[in-house]
Amino acid sequence: MNEIKKVLIAIDNEPSSEKVALHGFQLGSRLNAEIALISVIDTTMIMTEGSVTPMEFAETMKNECKKNQQLLVDHVFKDYKVWTFVEEGKPHEVILNMAQEWEADIIVLGTHGRKGISHLLLGSVAEKVLRHAEKPLFIIPTKS
């Protein structure tokens, strides 16, 4: 097994992101690994009404992700150096592409544990990453 030197932590803007980030940080810091946070704006799902364009909405979402990441960096990671990425696209594809580009050794992400119609409608980013990943995954259940 290869040594884990880089940990990529995928988060969204849900309250459960802190739990995922904390588990990822614990793993990365114990291994003295580099750590990166990635948030993805799903541009395939953006629909807007009124005077807000999809591009403006995406920009607003990017800013929210950046704020969320900064709060996590300040609260969870404190003095630990953390890379941050906010990207656009299909979340599972972007996460997998970033893992390749950044040369992550493991991907940490959460799963909401949705079932039934909500799973069918929303899909599962974790499930799609799992099906297509070429890297090890550390999946954190975030269901309360």
By CB atoms closer than 10 A (0-12, 13-18, 19+), residue 51 is exposed
Q: Measuring CA to CA, which residue among 121, 95, 116 is closest to residue 20?
A: 95
pLDDT values of the chain reduced to their tens digit, one per residue, 144 residues: 579 999 999 999 888 899 999 999 999 999 999 999 999 998 877 776 777 787 888 899 999 999 999 999 999 998 899 999 999 999 999 999 999 999 999 999 998 766 555 444 445 888 899 889 999 999 998 875
What predicted TM-score, i.e. pTM, was given to this entire model? 0.89
Q: What is the pLDDT of residue 86?
A: 97
Nearest CA to 102 out of 41, 36, 39, 42 is that of 36
CA 87 to chain centre: 10
Amino acid occupying residue 73: V
**What is the CATH T-level fold of the domain 6-141, as seen in this structure?**
Rossmann fold (3.40.50)
Q: Among residues 101, 96, 82, 102, which one has the least CA distance to residue 134?
A: 96
Domain ranges of the chain: 6-141
What's the rounded Cα separation, in Å, for the pair 52 and 49? 6
